[in-house]
Copies of this chain bind each other. A is one copy, B any other.
Amino acid sequence: MRVRDESKIETILDEARSMIVKVGFDGLSMQKLAKAANVSPATIYIYFKDRDDLLLQLYKRECDQFFAYIFQDFDPEMDFATGLTIQWKKRAKYIIDNPDKGHFMEHFTFTPLHAQAKRTRDPKYTDSMKRFVQKAIANGELVKMSLEVYWSVAFAPLYNLVRFHKIGRNMAGDPFVLTDEMLLQTLALVLKALKP
């Protein structure tokens, strides 16, 4: 039998992500996507059940790649400041170096499709972060708080700054460019907030 061209799948997903960032979910059509990926519309349906399935698989792939990356070099047994700094810098580097990927993942969470995104993500990453946080609290390195409060204080400011940077404007619509200095200062503020 003829063999699957796996690179087609990658191309289709890459083009889909890039189109969504450029023209939005409502600008993405299967025919335009097929053209951009140099395949027939029918080919897309070999690999994806329908449009929703394509988007859900794309989201899953992006999350998997992102998590695999940010948990490199991270060990939950690290001391709190070290571990958080590594996590922060990994996340910052990934979404600054791959602005479309970060933008897509965030955009997707506001979509109704996000409710259907299966919890098939490898739980090892979540478990690792839970362990890291609980251990830091037990060791007196981190104020006692829920995982959600921790995550929000630790990472939401970072994602927000990078988003300002990507769109080139701040909350008021003024031009904005992110600097390393700002990132480091924000990390320092976050550490200050979280340390007892």
Q: Which A residues form the contact surface with B (CB < 8 A)?
A: 21-28, 103, 106-107, 109-115, 117, 119, 121, 123, 126, 129, 143, 145-149, 151-153, 156-161, 163-164, 167, 170-174, 176, 178, 182, 185-186, 189-190, 192-194
Contact = CB atoms under 8 A, between A and B. Distances in A.
9 contacts: A21-B112, A25-B25, A117-B173, A119-B173, A148-B164, A149-B186, A152-B157, A152-B186, A192-B193
Given A22-B112, A23-B112, A110-B107, A170 B148 contact: yes
Contacts of A25: 24-26
Given A145-B185, A146-B182, A152-B186, A126 B159 contact: no
A108 B93 CA distance: 25
A161 to B, nearest CB: 5
